[in-house]
């Protein structure tokens, strides 16, 4: 067991899986000699060489199209999109081709691909380096969507994703790439996809969060506790397929729900989570569900900390929902 940052944990997972399975290939812009813009793939090129750590042209559609071809011929590609904001040129390849291959071929041509990409704000990246596009992919049948919050989960979820038969979008919250530290086993382990984690027990209100916003939710819950509100926090970890059983179990206990996410409010994943809960636990709700989200604007630069749903915005939602 070694204390690692999320960057180190993800690098460890990639190295472990590339040693275990020679079909695993990493590709993307600057992932080779440079080690990626955040140095997540640093050292992999030195060990595995050009054939398995491939520096690509600046073409997201080309990166994903190439990865799909690799997967159809039996490789297990792990392409990196340098920022989630740049994934849109590859959206057609992901949605029109990758997500549908297993279905259209009757299971004959599954495509095992894990698309890694850093998401979210908090690093003063402005509107082109701060977006959270998870709902665009959750909406598409055939894709799984993962977003770890801790180094331990990052390694375990990435190993599970690489071994999963379906294509996975693996969103990495860059705000906590190096800020989040924790003990990570040096060897083999996986965190199962589709399972949420209760990171804080509580009785008054259920809070759903993921990625960097988990830490803001915890901070808000600690402040709420001083005001007599006991919040239970679930880290979803896998956004789709979501662990609706764990969510409903918690809401039935607390009778209240608050969802926190960085993406804009309208048509964000929070809206779907609220619907899933009201369909299954409406009679248990004692207050209207609340969403604390980004705003329906492009991500700002100067007002970044006003845009993000930080603890000071989450706290009033917890208090008001608990006392409704």
CATH for 153: 3.40.50.970
pLDDT tens digits along 14-36: 999 999 999 999 999 999 999 99
Count of structural domains within the chain: 2
**177 and 288 inside one domain:** no
- 190 domain residue, yes or no: no
What number is the average pLDDT over the span 110-130?
Answer: 93
Q: Is residue 174's pLDDT more than 90?
A: yes
Q: pTM here?
A: 0.96
| Domain extent at residue 248 | 197-322
- Helical ranges in the chain per DSSP H: 6-20, 44-48, 60-72, 91-92, 101-104, 134-138, 151-163, 213-226, 244-254, 269-281, 304-307, 311-322
Residue carrying structure tokens 């894709």: 143
**155 and 132 inside one domain:** yes
Band (pLDDT 50/70/90 cuts) for residue 134 is very high
pLDDT tens digits along 32-91: 999 999 999 999 999 999 999 999 999 999 999 999 999 999 999 999 999 999 999 999
What number is the average pLDDT over the span 286-307?
Answer: 95
Dihedral sign, Cα of residue 277, residue 294, residue 94, residue 168: negative
Q: Residue 298 maps to which CATH number?
A: 3.40.50.920
Band (pLDDT 50/70/90 cuts) for residue 307 is very high
Q: Is residue 166's pLDDT more than 90?
A: yes
pLDDT tens digits along 97-111: 999 999 999 988 888
CA distance 98 to 96: 6
pLDDT tens digits along 239-269: 999 999 999 999 999 999 999 999 999 999 9
Mean pLDDT (the chain) is 96
What number is the average pLDDT over the span 274-290?
Answer: 97
- 192 domain residue, yes or no: no
**232 and 144 inside one domain:** no
What number is the average pLDDT over the span 163-185?
Answer: 96
Between β-strands 231-235 and 197-200, what pairing exists: parallel, antiparallel or unpaired? antiparallel
- pLDDT score of 17: 97
**180 and 296 inside one domain:** no
What number is the average pLDDT over the span 280-300?
Answer: 97
Q: Is residue 117's pLDDT more than 90?
A: yes
- 191 domain residue, yes or no: no
- 239 domain residue, yes or no: yes
**55 and 155 inside one domain:** yes
CA distance 297 to 307: 9
Q: Is residue 281's pLDDT more than 90?
A: yes
**162 and 130 inside one domain:** yes
139 is catalytic: no
**115 and 242 inside one domain:** no
**254 and 215 inside one domain:** yes
Share of the chain above pLDDT 90, in %: 95
**25 and 151 inside one domain:** yes
- pLDDT score of 203: 97
- Among residues 154, 184, 214, the one where a domain terminates is 184
What number is the average pLDDT over the span 200-213?
Answer: 97
- Among residues 140, 160, 184, the one where a domain terminates is 184
**9 and 124 inside one domain:** yes
- Among residues 126, 149, 184, the one where a domain terminates is 184
**168 and 269 inside one domain:** no
Band (pLDDT 50/70/90 cuts) for residue 1 is confident
End-to-end CA distance of the chain: 44
**63 and 212 inside one domain:** no
- pLDDT score of 276: 98
Instruction: Determine which one of 16, 129, 284, 312 is catalytic.
Output: 129
């Amino acid at each position: 067991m070694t204390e690692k940052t999320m960057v180190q944990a993800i690098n460890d997972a990639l190295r472990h899986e590339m040693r275990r399975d020679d079909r695993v290939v990493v590709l993307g812009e600057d992932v080779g000699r440079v080690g990626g813009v955040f140095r997540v793939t640093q050292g992999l090129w030195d060990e595995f060489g050009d054939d398995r750590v491939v520096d690509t042209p600046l073409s997201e559609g080309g990166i994903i199209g190439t990865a799909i071809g690799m997967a159809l011929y039996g490789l297990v590609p792990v392409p990196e999109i340098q920022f989630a904001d740049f994934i849109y040129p590859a959206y057609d390849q992901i949605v029109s081709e990758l997500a549908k291959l297993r279905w259209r071929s009757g299971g004959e041509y599954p495509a095992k691909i894990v698309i890694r990409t850093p998401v979210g704000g908090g690093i003063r990246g402005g509107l082109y380096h701060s977006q959270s596009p998870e709902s665009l992919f959750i909406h598409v049948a055939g894709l799984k969507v993962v977003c770890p919050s801790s180094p331990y989960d990052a390694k375990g979820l990435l190993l599970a994703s690489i071994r999963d038969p379906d294509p996975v979008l693996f969103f990495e919250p860059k705000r906590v790439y190096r800020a989040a530290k924790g003990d990570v086993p040096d060897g083999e382990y996986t965190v199962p996809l589709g399972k949420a984690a209760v990171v804080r027990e509580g009785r008054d209100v259920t809070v759903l969060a993921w990625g960097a916003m988990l830490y803001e939710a915890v901070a808000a819950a600690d402040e709420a506790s001083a005001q007599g509100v006991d919040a239970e926090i679930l880290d979803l970890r896998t956004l789709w397929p979501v662990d609706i059983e764990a969510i409903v179990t918690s809401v039935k206990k607390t009778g209240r729900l608050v969802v926190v996410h960085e993406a804009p409010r309208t048509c964000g994943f929070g809206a779907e989570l609220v619907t899933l809960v009201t369909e299954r636990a409406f009679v248990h709700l004692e207050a209207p569900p609340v969403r604390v989200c980004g705003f329906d604007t492009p991500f700002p630069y100067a007002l970044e900390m006003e845009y993000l749903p930080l603890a000071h915005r989450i706290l009033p939602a917890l208090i008001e929902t608990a006392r409704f």
